[in-house]
Amino acid sequence: MQPLPPNAPARIGDYTLLAALGRGAMGSVYLARSPGGRPVAVKVARAELADNPQFRERFRREVEMARSVGGFWTATVVGADPDAERPWMATEYVVGPTLQQAVHDYGPLPERAVRRLAAGLAEALVAIHGAGLVHRDLKPSNVLLANDGPRVIDFGVARALEHSALTEAGIVFGTPGYLSPEQVVGSAITPQSDVFALGSVLVYAATGAGPFGEGATSALVYRVVHQEPDLSRVPPGLVPLIVPCLVREPAHRPTPARLLELIGPPSHEPSWLPAQVRTLVEQRHTELRELPAKPPTRVLPDKPPTRAEKPPTRVLVEDPPSAPDRVPPKPTRVQAASSQVPPAIKPYTPPARRTGVRYRTSRLVGLAWATAHGAAAVVSGAVANATSGAQTGVRVAAGLAFLLFALLAIRLLAGATRPPLTLDIGPDGMTVSGDGEQRRLPWYAVSRVKVEGSAAHPWVVVRLVSAAQTPKTLGRGSFRNHKGNLRVYPISHERYRKRRERDVAEIRSALAWYAPDAYDAR
């Protein structure tokens, strides 16, 4: 745990914040204390996401799903407010590291600990599936190791079984390396998909690596579908437990309840955790007991910082390289004076940042060019008319110009009447939207992405992994095969040259930033 950052609120709901536990793509997690003194973990959404109605609905579903799951081995939800200015959810605080942290810092778990881990995770899946859910993202960072057993957390990508048909074919939620084959290829996802992930997590716990190795996302998902898992370093006593979980055919995998029968009763040893991990948990218990009932009052300076006291520049590393750094402004004299009353102060909050970049084709530009060419055609036609009095050679040239401008105007007008396309490039992949429809390409479904084509007609072009399905076109030539690749998005074909060159440069930069493993700069 870390001290609270300066811009953190003092309270969330009825909970007093004590320390920072972590920060992810969706928001921050804080250690807090309830009015009765109970430690809780409070997950708070990022400010820029809170303005998105779709995110709020997703957050609301996550809260409902987490509340619907009972059982011993999941973190219980004790409070939430999806309608707050920044949505938040509070769960019981589990004193222990993630499985990923424990294995990374201290090495693989011993066989007896892996068996206890398997029993706890299987029982957690019984509760999750009993609530009509599939977790869909069971992985080492979503498993906490407590003294009394593991806890499964984060239902952020879970989906109710009755709504699984709403998932688009070929669109996968989850983490590469722990996905089931059916998740990769876009087939129906069932509780048995979580069993496959459970088998992968146990391999990681026993060996320090997943069953399909490391590397680029495209390579991982390919191995999941086409290669056998690597169990060469798994202790022989665990192989009969893990192998059935990693069978490719979902119907042939055991249910979590059957896994519990295979594992058998737990051992009677005093602690299931290795000594080093147990020591770490005890240290965290000590830190928790020594935390004050409330954090110390944070008072801002009563004068503007001098040049020597000026805080360092904050570099926002999540933005593309071309994005400028944003530095908090110096407090004014009035702001500095107001800082003498701490309860009324709201620390500086950086402006909201969007995640990813967006590009859009334009109807207006196409209509403008069509109008200009139409006007040129009218002028040329007037000169070519026999009544214009122009010389024969001039009239012939004007007639040819009329035909050329008229054809271009018709072509531009036809293009302008088609629905515009929008391209979003972000950390998780690309989304092309048009005429009320969307086509998503997660990065793990893309083996290569580049910009190619002539200077006047550049395209974003991709090559999908072999297991991915080709989306249907949205018009304008999108998602059409071209020399063995797939054209996805026309980059500013209707715009003037300098604007097109600028868009090409920005898109190249975004692809290199968000998809470094798949981007082809050639």
pLDDT, one tens digit per residue, over 373-390 is 788 888 888 888 877 777
Residues 167 and 273 in one domain: yes
Specify if 336 maps to a domain.
no
Q: Look at residue 174 in the predicted model and tell me its pLDDT.
A: 59
Statement: residue 499 has pLDDT above 90? no
Instruction: Using the 3D structure, point to which of 93, 122, 143 is the last residue of a domain.
Output: 93
Is position 302 within any domain? no
What is residue 192's predicted lDDT score, i.e. its pLDDT?
94
- If asked whether residues 114 and 244 sit together in one domain, one would say yes
DSSP symbol at 111: H
pLDDT at position 132 over 50: yes
Are 177 and 228 in a shared domain?
A: yes
Residue 440 inside a domain? The answer is yes
Average pLDDT over residues 290-319: 45
Let me know if residue 331 belongs to a domain.
no
Catalytic residue (one of 83, 105, 137, 520): 137
What mean pLDDT comes out for the span 51-71? 78
Residues 141 and 277 in one domain: yes
114 plus 180 within the same structural domain: yes
For the chain, give the percent of residues with pLDDT over 70.
78
Residue 349 lies in a domain: no
One domain for residues 247 and 376 = no
Per-residue pLDDT tens digits for 101-122: 999 999 999 999 999 999 999 9
CATH number where 437 lies: 2.30.29
Whole-structure pTM value: 0.55
Tell whether 244 is covered by a domain. Answer: yes
409 and 429 part of one domain: no
Does position 324 have pLDDT exceeding 50, yes or no? no
Contacts of 413 (CB under 8 A, 6+ apart): 366, 367, 370, 374
pLDDT-derived band at 363 (thresholds 50, 70, 90) equals low
For the chain, the first-to-last Cα distance in angstroms comes to 44
CATH at 26: 3.30.200.20
| 193 & 181 share domain | yes
Count of structural domains within the chain: 4
Which of 69, 93, 117 lies at the terminal end of a domain, its last residue? Answer: 93
Please spell the DSSP secondary structure of 397-413, one letter per residue. Answer: HHHHHHHHHHHHHHHHH
Q: CB within 8 A of 210, min separation 6: which ones?
A: 177, 178, 200, 203, 204
Range in 223-227, 299-303, 355-359, 493-497 with the lowest mean pLDDT = 299-303
Question: Stretch 488-503: mean pLDDT, rounded?
Answer: 82
Give kind and range of the element (H or E) at residue 471.
Answer: none
For residues 206 and 110, membership in a common domain is answered with yes
| Burial 449-461, CB ≥16 within 10 A → b, else e | bbbebeeeebbbb
Residue 137 bears catalytic tag: yes
Pair (121, 202) in one structural domain: yes
Residue 469's domain comprises 422-514
Q: State the pLDDT at residue 362.
A: 56
Average pLDDT over residues 351-368: 57
Percent over 90 (pLDDT), the chain: 19
Q: Are 220 and 126 contained in the same domain?
A: yes
